[in-house]
Amino acid sequence: MHLSKNDPEVASALNHELARQQDGLEMIPSENYVSEAVLEALGSIGTNKYSEGYPGVRYYGGCEWVDVIENLARDRAKALFGVTHANVQPASGCAANIATLFALLNPGDTLMGMNLFYGGHMTHGLPVNFSGRYYKSVQYTSTPDGYMDFDQMMALAREHKPKLIIVGATAYPRIIDWKKARVVADEVGAFLMADISHIAGLIVSGDHPSPVGIADVITTTTHKTLRGPRGAMILCNGNPSTPLKKVEVARENIPTLIDRAIIPGIQGGPHNHQTAAIAVALKEAAMPSFKEYGHQIVKNAKALSSRLVDRGFDLVTGGTDNHLMVVNLTNKGISGKQAEAALGRAGITVNKNTVPFEPRSPFDPSGIRLGTPALTSRGMKETEMEIVGELIARAITSWNDDAKLDEVESEVREMTEKFPIYKDINYEN
C-alpha cells in the first residue's frame, strides 16, 4: 500500500486502531462499523473536487459526476425516510443542527431543547455551546425516573414562547413520543425540530416511530445506527425555490431556508467523498437485511439490559426500548469515570455519562452509556449479550484489580476472534 511507504507512522497508528476495534467490544452507542464498500467510497477521488452549491446549481465547473453522486444520495434519503427534500451536505451532526437554527432563528430568539445532562445534546441549547450563546436557551429535563418530561416541556413553552423546540437525545433509552412534542409546539406556534441522529437506523427498520409528517424539520447523523460514514443530513417536506429568490421564515419555505443555511450560510464546498459514502450507506439501509439488523440491535439491547439488571445494576428508566442504556453506578460504589477506565482496561469501550439529576461533576459523573449497534454489526446476538453483561459486571466489580481485568480482557479477545471485522485490511502491507 502507498500509505505504509509514504507515512509508516500513520500506517502504524491506523493498524493499531484496527487491532483495537477488532480485539475489543465497541459499545459506545454512537459508534458503528461501516461496510468495506462505504470505506472505499470514503477514500475515493471524490475528495479532489470542489463543488460549492447544489446539483445543477454549482459555482464551479466540472461537477457533472459529483452531481450524479449527490443526487443519488438525496434521492435515496428521500425514499428511505419518506420526505420530499433532503440536504446531504452537512459535515457533521453539529453542522446540521447549526444550519437548522441558522435557517429558522435570528440571534436572540428563544429555542427549547433537552438539557445535555438529562440526555440531550450540546447543540440543543447548552449554555457554553453556540446554541446557548447566540440564542436564548430554555432547557427541559426528565421526570425523576428518567423519562422525557412533556408536562415540564409544556409549562416551559407556555412561559417562554420558544420559536423552535428541539426534540431528540443522545442518552435516552426510551421511545420518543413525537406527537406529544407536536402538541407542545402547536400550543405556542413553534417550529418543531426532531434530531434523530441516534435512532435513524431504528426508524428505517421500524423499531422506532418516525417524526416525518410531525416535525417541521429533521436532522440526523449518518454514522450511528444508520451505519454510514461520519456525516449528516437534514430532511423536510416541500421543494426549494430558485436560488436567488428571497423567502420569509415560514414552514412552506423550510427546504429553501435549509439549503441556503448550509451554503452560503455555514459551509462552503461539500465533501464529495463523504457524500458518495453516504449514498452507499443509504442503499445498504434500503435492503431487507437492514431491517433485520435494526430488529437485532433492539433485541440485543434488551437482552443486555436484562442481564445487567439481574446483576444488580441500576439502569435509568429501568431498561431500554432502543439501542442504548444508561447505567447509574452509585449503588456499585464506583464513578462513571472509573468504570470507563476499568472497562477500557478489559477491552470494553463505553463512555462515562451523567444520569438524571446528577449529583456529581459531568467530568466524573455517576454513570456510563453503552449500546449494541457495533456489536450487532459484528453478528452478535442475544446469547453473546448475556456473556457481555457478565463480563461488564465482572470488570466493574474488579475495577481496581488489574489481574482480574486482564482475565476479562482475555475472554473479550477470545470472543471477538469469533466475530472478525475487516479481515482483508492491513495498513502496513
Question: What pLDDT score was predicted for residue 244?
Answer: 57
Query: Which residue among 285, 309, 337 closes a domain?
Result: 285
Residue written as grid cell 425516510: 81
One domain, residues 74 and 18: no
One domain, residues 314 and 412: yes
Told to judge if 317 belongs to the known catalytic residues of this protein, a careful annotator would answer no
Does residue 428 fall inside a structural domain?
Answer: no
Does residue 409 fall inside a structural domain?
Answer: yes
One domain, residues 311 and 363: yes
One domain, residues 258 and 362: no
Told to judge if 50 belongs to the known catalytic residues of this protein, a careful annotator would answer yes
CATH number of the domain that 317 lies in?
A: 3.90.1150.10
Query: Which residue among 264, 285, 306 closes a domain?
Result: 285
Give the chain's mean pLDDT: 96
Told to judge if 118 belongs to the known catalytic residues of this protein, a careful annotator would answer no
- Selected catalytic residue, list 224, 227, 307, 378: 224
CATH number of the domain that 88 lies in?
A: 3.40.640.10
- Selected catalytic residue, list 70, 195, 284, 384: 195
Query: Which residue among 261, 285, 309 closes a domain?
Result: 285
Domain count, the chain: 2
Told to judge if 378 belongs to the known catalytic residues of this protein, a careful annotator would answer no
Three-state secondary-structure class, residue 371: strand
For the beta sheet containing 351-353, the strands, ordered from the edge strand earlier in sequence to the opposite edge, are 314-315, 324-328, 367-371, 351-353
pLDDT in tens, 5-43: 999 999 999 999 999 999 999 999 999 999 999 999 999
- Selected catalytic residue, list 31, 52, 187, 386: 52
Mean pLDDT for 60-70 is 97
Residue among 246, 216, 221, 218 at smallest CA distance from 232: 221
Question: What pLDDT score was predicted for residue 242?
Answer: 65
Number of Cβ within a 10 Å radius of residue 367: 28
pLDDT in tens, 367-387: 999 999 999 999 999 999 999
Told to judge if 221 belongs to the known catalytic residues of this protein, a careful annotator would answer yes
One domain, residues 79 and 151: yes
Does residue 425 fall inside a structural domain?
Answer: no
pLDDT in tens, 112-151: 999 999 999 999 999 999 999 999 999 999 999 999 999 9
Told to judge if 52 belongs to the known catalytic residues of this protein, a careful annotator would answer yes
Does residue 24 fall inside a structural domain?
Answer: yes
One domain, residues 252 and 396: no
One domain, residues 259 and 359: no
For the CA atoms of 5, 9, 10, 11, what is the dihedral angle to 10 degrees?
Answer: 50
Question: What pLDDT score was predicted for residue 246?
Answer: 78
pLDDT in tens, 282-320: 999 999 999 999 999 999 999 999 999 999 999 999 999
One domain, residues 202 and 231: yes
One domain, residues 280 and 296: no
Distances (CA, A) of 389 to 171, 301, 359, 372, 376: 19, 10, 26, 11, 14
pLDDT in tens, 75-85: 999 999 999 99
One domain, residues 280 and 293: no
pLDDT in tens, 165-215: 999 999 999 999 999 999 999 999 999 999 999 999 999 999 999 999 999
One domain, residues 333 and 238: no
Does residue 421 fall inside a structural domain?
Answer: no
pTM over 0.75: yes
One domain, residues 192 and 238: yes
Does residue 166 fall inside a structural domain?
Answer: yes
Mean pLDDT for 336-344 is 98
- Selected catalytic residue, list 23, 31, 49, 50: 50
Q: Which domain, by its residues, includes 87?
A: 39-285
Residue ranges in 286-381 assigned as alpha helix (H): 288-310, 336-345, 373-377
Q: Check if the beta carbon of residue 299 is closer than 8 Å to that of residue 382.
A: yes
Question: What pLDDT score was predicted for residue 243?
Answer: 58
Does residue 8 fall inside a structural domain?
Answer: yes
Does residue 423 fall inside a structural domain?
Answer: no
Size of the chain in residues: 429
